[in-house]
A and B are shown apart, each in its own frame.
Chain A
Amino acid sequence: KNEVEQSPQNLTAQEGEFITINCSYSVGISALHWLQQHPGGGIVSLFMLSSGKKKHGRLIATINIQEKHSSLHITASHPRDSAVYICAPNPQGAQKLVFGQGTRLTINP
């Protein structure tokens, strides 16, 4: 069993729809990161969470430490949100991140 499970693996939606991507993990963590990678390249860190909820523009990330679960929400989705979204917790005491397999999001106009 993978330490980090993301769902769904692929998601296609229409512009304007509300998007939710889920991440479950099996170990105690210091923090959890949500990352975005557009086709062709670079990775951008969207959020770093250790508790509660964070919001940046149309993106919201939540984490429930007791349930070992985090979600990334996108409101009023737009084609430019099309990317791979990766959940990456930092296990307690570990000097590294553990990566989920990613969710490939496509937003059609």
Chain B
Amino acid sequence: DTEVTQTPKHLVMGMTNKKSLKCEQHMGHRAMYWYKQKAKKPPELMFVYSYEKLSINESVPSRFSPECPNSSLLNLHLHALQPEDSALYLCASSQVSPADTQYFGPGTRLTVL
């Protein structure tokens, strides 16, 4: 199984809502990533988890809150987002480090009204 799954596929939320994005992999990977991608731009790294511990936060606003409950799951909790946060949110995993092949999920397309 070389699949990374993400739910939901699409999400529309208001600026006062709280929602969560979910990412799951069962490849035994110990590194997991959240990326944000705007149209016609490359992905921007948001967070890296290594062995379930947050190892990189790329100065992401606190309205985005990551969580890694176990080695297979990665969540991204969203609260009080802004319209400019509308984007494709991609999750990825790799065996141990970013030098290893990264497997990407299909993404969650988020619209903030």
Contacts and interface: CB of A to CB of B under 8 A. Distances in A.
Interface in A85-106: 86, 88, 90, 94-97, 99-102
Contact of B99 (A41, A42, A44, A90): A90
A50 B103 CA distance: 18
B81 to A, nearest CB: 21
A99 B99 CA distance: 13
Interface string B39-64: 00111110010100001100000000
B102 A100 contact: no
B105 A42 contact: yes
Interface string A36-63: 0000011111001010000000000000
A65 interface: no
B42 A100 contact: yes
Contact of A43 (B41, B44, B45, B90): B90
Contacts, number: 56
For this complex, into which size category does the number of interface residues on chain B fall? Answer: 20 to 34
Given A96-B45, A99-B43, A102-B42, A42 B106 contact: yes
Contacts of B42: 86, 88, 99-102
For this complex, into which size category does the number of interface residues on chain A fall? Answer: 20 to 34
A95 B104 contact: no
B104 A43 contact: yes
Nearest to A43: B104
A45 B103 contact: yes
B74 interface: no
A96 B56 contact: yes
Contacts of B44: 99
B100 A95 contact: no
10 contacts: A33-B102, A41-B107, A42-B90, A42-B105, A44-B104, A45-B102, A94-B98, A95-B98, A99-B42, A100-B42
